[in-house]
């Protein structure tokens, strides 16, 4: 495996545009769209058909296989269609389209208080599964699967990732400021599953208010600690987070559970609290709308399925026509030609930029070594790109190409503007597709 030496980059974070904007609750005006694939693994199987009436909190699609996730309606209304719709990944995905009746009638038991201390581990995991919770940091791995390692007793760290290291994103930061009790509550629920585990919340040092908030709440919790991390991209990467907080190393063949760790994003942990303690499934997302092309950058809490076009409108629209629209962060997100796509469990932001800084022609590699110098996994990105372009997949793997975490540091620092990350990521996908 590649030796883990955390290098990374210091980068303009753009968070000042929205970090001081409190979370605003926003209700949809139009139809809601629920893609059946908004998680890692297999698409969910629809449980409703055109013409069916649905309620807030109703399961409209169920997990289809061991790695899949339920999808829950965030509104009440009528199923308008089950058809392919464009998503923020750039793919057309089979989706359930619901016409909102604006009444928000809920299923029986929605929001009911529960005492998790009286629930068994199996009941807690089942509650998480039924709620449709997945990793809300962007990866979308089903949380109930993550919380079911082979041996509970070998887990000695439950890590809560509060780094939010991607530039411009501030939804997690606002959550840590405004609802820290949900994060602590969710972490306590997770710790009840792993009797030998200690809870550690990792936050970058550019978020002092969030650190103070969570430390105050954790003062009387002897199994919870808040640790301050240096601000450096990609500090929030799973491997970097585990290494920074525990000194343990991961590679592409290992899961955090293989080194005794469970890692969840702060929003995921808050969702666990709501699902288990409040009988509230994952129906809403906290989303950042920002960038220098957005008139009034904001943080919104919105129903899953709502169109991003409505969020842009609520943020004052574009103050000038953007050259680039990105879903997710500018380093690892997806550039799109349309923003009329639904909010899903794996899209935590929309960014609009006046200028497309990446729209620069590539030139020949000048052998400066910057891509290697800044790679957090100590890889040789330019070599991997050349192997990929020559379709030498065997040597690509032997040179640790599968270890790339796709953080984008190499492409960002490259003076020749080589499309390193894109080429390496595409090649990894090609290799994985052949394996399966």
Mean pLDDT to the nearest integer, 23-43: 96
Residue 418: band (very low, low, confident or very high) from pLDDT cuts 50, 70, 90: very high
The annotation status of 414 as a binding-site residue, yes or no, is: yes
Q: Which residues pair with 202 in a beta bridge?
A: 161, 227
CA-to-CA dists, residue 436 to 107, 204, 243, 433, angstroms: 39, 37, 30, 5
Least confident of 105-119, 125-139, 356-370: 356-370
Mean pLDDT to the nearest integer, 137-160: 95
The annotation status of 407 as a binding-site residue, yes or no, is: yes
Q: Where are the domains of the chain?
A: 116-277, 370-435
The annotation status of 409 as a binding-site residue, yes or no, is: no
Q: Which residues pair with 142 in a beta bridge?
A: 134
Asked if the model's pLDDT at residue 390 lies above 50, the reply is yes
**What pLDDT, on the 0 to 100 scale, is given for residue 2?**
34
Average pLDDT, the chain: 95
The annotation status of 261 as a binding-site residue, yes or no, is: no
Give residue-wise pLDDT tens across range 154-172.
Answer: 999 999 999 999 999 999 9
**What pLDDT, on the 0 to 100 scale, is given for residue 96?**
98
Give residue-wise pLDDT tens across range 50-103.
Answer: 999 999 999 999 999 999 999 999 999 999 999 999 999 889 999 999 999 999
Residue 436: band (very low, low, confident or very high) from pLDDT cuts 50, 70, 90: low
Query: 194-233 burial string, b = 16+ CB within 10 Å, else e?
Result: beebbbbbbbbebbeebbebbbebbeeeeebebeebebbb
**What pLDDT, on the 0 to 100 scale, is given for residue 361?**
83
Give residue-wise pLDDT tens across range 5-31.
Answer: 468 899 999 999 999 999 999 999 999
Give residue-wise pLDDT tens across range 210-266.
Answer: 999 999 999 989 999 999 999 999 999 999 999 999 999 998 889 999 999 999 999
Mean pLDDT to the nearest integer, 192-202: 97
Asked if the model's pLDDT at residue 356 lies above 90, the reply is no
CATH topology of domain 116-277: Rossmann fold (3.40.50)
**What pLDDT, on the 0 to 100 scale, is given for residue 359?**
76
């Amino acid at each position: 495996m590649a030796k883990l030496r955390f290098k990374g980059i210091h980068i303009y974070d753009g968070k000042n545009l929205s970090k001081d904007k409190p979370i605003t609750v926003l209700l949809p005006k139009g139809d809601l769209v629920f893609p059946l694939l908004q998680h890692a693994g297999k698409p969910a199987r629809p449980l409703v058909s055109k013409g069916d009436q649905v309620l807030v909190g109703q399961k409209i699609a169920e997990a289809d296989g061991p790695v899949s996730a339920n999808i829950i309606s965030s509104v009440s209304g009528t199923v308008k269609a089950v058809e392919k719709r464009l998503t923020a990944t750039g793919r057309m995905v089979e989706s359930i389209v619901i016409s909102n009746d604006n009444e928000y009638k809920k299923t029986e038991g929605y929001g009911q208080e529960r005492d998790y201390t009286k629930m068994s581990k199996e009941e807690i995991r089942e509650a998480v599964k039924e709620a449709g919770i997945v990793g809300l940091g962007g990866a979308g791995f089903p949380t109930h699967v993550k919380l079911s390692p082979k041996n509970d007793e070998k887990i000695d760290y439950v890590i809560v990732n509060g780094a939010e290291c991607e530039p411009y994103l501030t939804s997690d930061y606002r959550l840590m400021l405004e609802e820290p009790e949900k994060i602590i509550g969710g972490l306590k629920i997770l710790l009840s599953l792993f009797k030998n585990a200690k809870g550690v919340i990792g936050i970058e040092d550019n978020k002092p208010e969030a650190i103070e908030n969570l430390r105050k709440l954790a003062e009387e919790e002897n199994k919870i600690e808040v640790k301050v991390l240096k601000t450096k991209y990609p500090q929030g990467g799973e491997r970097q987070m585990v290494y920074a907080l525990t000194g343990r190393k991961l590679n592409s063949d290992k899961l955090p559970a293989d080194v005794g760790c469970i890692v969840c994003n702060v929003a995921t942990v808050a969702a666990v609290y709501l699902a288990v303690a409040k009988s509230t499934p994952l129906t809403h997302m906290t989303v950042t709308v920002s960038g220098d092309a957005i008139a009034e950058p904001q943080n919104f809490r919105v129903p899953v399925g709502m169109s991003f076009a409505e969020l842009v409108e609520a943020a004052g629209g574009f103050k000038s026509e953007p050259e680039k629209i990105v879903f997710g962060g500018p380093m690892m997100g997806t550039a799109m030609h349309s923003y009329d796509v639904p909010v899903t469990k794996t899209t935590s932001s929309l960014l609009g930029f006046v200028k497309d800084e990446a729209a620069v022609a590539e030139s020949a590699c000048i052998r400066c070594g910057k891509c290697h110098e800044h790679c957090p996994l100590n890889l040789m990105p330019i070599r991997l790109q050349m192997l990929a372009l020559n379709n030498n997949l065997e040597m690509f793997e032997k040179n640790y190409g599968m270890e790339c975490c796709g953080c984008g540091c190499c492409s960002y620092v490259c003076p020749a503007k080589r499309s390193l990350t894109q080429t390496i990521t595409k090649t990894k996908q090609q290799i994985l597709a052949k394996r399966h």
